[in-house]
Amino acid sequence: MSKENWNKLLSDEFNQEIDEWAASRNALIGDTAFPDGVGNLPNPWGPPREKGTNSHYALFNELVTKDLIRHYCDAIGDKNPLYRWDEYARNTRYGGIIAPNGILYCIGEAGAGMGKVAPGFGRSLAGGSTWTWYKVIRPGDTFHVMGTDMGVTEKRSHRQVPYRLFISMYRTTYLNQRDEIVATRDRTRVNIVAESRQKTESAFKYRERYRYTQEELDRIHQGYYDEDLNRRGAETRFWEDVVEGEEIFPVVAGPLTVLDSHCMMGAMGQQSAFGINWDMLRDHIADHGWIDPETNAPRWRAEGHLTDACGRATGLKMGGYGYHGQSEALMQKAIQNWMGDDGWLMVQSCKTRRPNWHGDTTWVKGKVTKKYTSEDGQFLVELELHCENQLGEVHQESTATVILPSRTRFLYGIK
């Protein structure tokens, strides 16, 4: 193997291990995995399949219900009546309640793939997603899913750092009860591959948790009220009325708390308790766990979304942090608020720039960058959005393409 990508701050032996790991991961490109159970309990009566030491592919929920939609909307602070109230939704073009596109976070995901984990004391964090949606999701829809491994690529740092960075990608394909492809998600994860926790920690800056003035809190709370007043809803936004450069009304969420993260985890159905939790963890403590210094008990790294202790024990100086999917969903909510009930979010491509730490407030801001018609006659608008915190630091960015109806051809392009 070539040594040109080796990091001089790491030992030759460790660089060699990293190269071998990357090669083993890329040998799995194209491999397809199917969940062997629903929720976190594997099906002992299902057909046998090979599972690597780092296999992680989950089907969290099969059935979309009004309750699941409500729990998801609660987790992202979305009060849109299109997703909640029959009396409102029956008078829309859908004829009833539909689910937000992001409900698929609650269905399943391709995670760490079939390959082994990176060597050393690494940290894997969400890097973003590219979503493409093809079908409306309604209560009563059931899902089956599959994941495709898309390998890893190395990302060279612009500064000298004591670790190597890799981007891993997995595709999740969501199919409904009619075997129609409803959506695909190309999900990336950033792998910080280091020899020690101290070297992993060097990837993150530390600052004290932000303390808000009453004026700042009042502005946040006013933002919640203003969102309700500026939701487009049943007032159709026509393509002809869109102006390139116009801004999207902002969405605010925060300060991020443990409860906010817990609500997202609960809506997704991502974790389990007691014996089922242990069934998941027992063979993966070194890869996906941490040891609680107070109790000496092993626990899931996913608790970094809930506790400062877990975040810090696994290389994140700032402690607890939010779900990237929750921030992606906040941008989806801002788009839906802007385009109204008659618009359709077709594509969203997101990049995570840094974790969203507990105690931080997210402001979603965006603008129209382009409007055009496609070769098949759809009226399209492209948007840019980002999530910034109370200090103006951007932690997520996204681009999106939406379909709008036209005044001359009242077409939707989606059913």
User: Which residues form the domain of 108?
Assistant: 1-204
313 within some domain:
no
pLDDT reading at 61 higher than 50: yes
Give the residue among 322, 334, 353, 352 at the shortest CA–CA distance from 400.
334
Number of domains in the chain: 1
CB-based contacts of 109: which residues, under 8 Å, 6+ apart?
57, 58, 60, 147, 170, 172, 185, 187
111: confidence class by pLDDT, cuts 50, 70, 90: low
295 within some domain:
no
pLDDT reading at 51 higher than 50: no
pLDDT at 43 (0 to 100): 63
pLDDT at 400 (0 to 100): 98
Q: What is the pTM of this model?
A: 0.93
11 within some domain:
yes
169 within some domain:
yes
351 within some domain:
no
Q: What is the pLDDT of residues 224-236, one digit of tens each?
A: 999 999 999 999 9
CATH of the domain at 51: 3.10.129.10
228 CB neighbour count, 10 Å cutoff: 11
As a residue count, the chain comes to 415
Between 160 and 46, name the one with better pLDDT. 160
Q: What is the pLDDT of residues 356-403, one digit of tens each?
A: 999 999 999 999 999 999 999 999 999 999 999 999 999 999 999 999
159 within some domain:
yes
CB-based contacts of 8: which residues, under 8 Å, 6+ apart?
none
Tell me the C-alpha distance between 225 and 242, whole Å.
Answer: 25
pLDDT reading at 413 higher than 70: no
Q: What is the pLDDT of residues 336-345, one digit of tens each?
A: 999 999 999 9
273 within some domain:
no
31: confidence class by pLDDT, cuts 50, 70, 90: confident
288 within some domain:
no
Between 45 and 271, name the one with better pLDDT. 271
Mean pLDDT, range 239-262, rounded to an integer: 97
Between 251 and 124, name the one with better pLDDT. 251
pLDDT reading at 174 higher than 70: yes
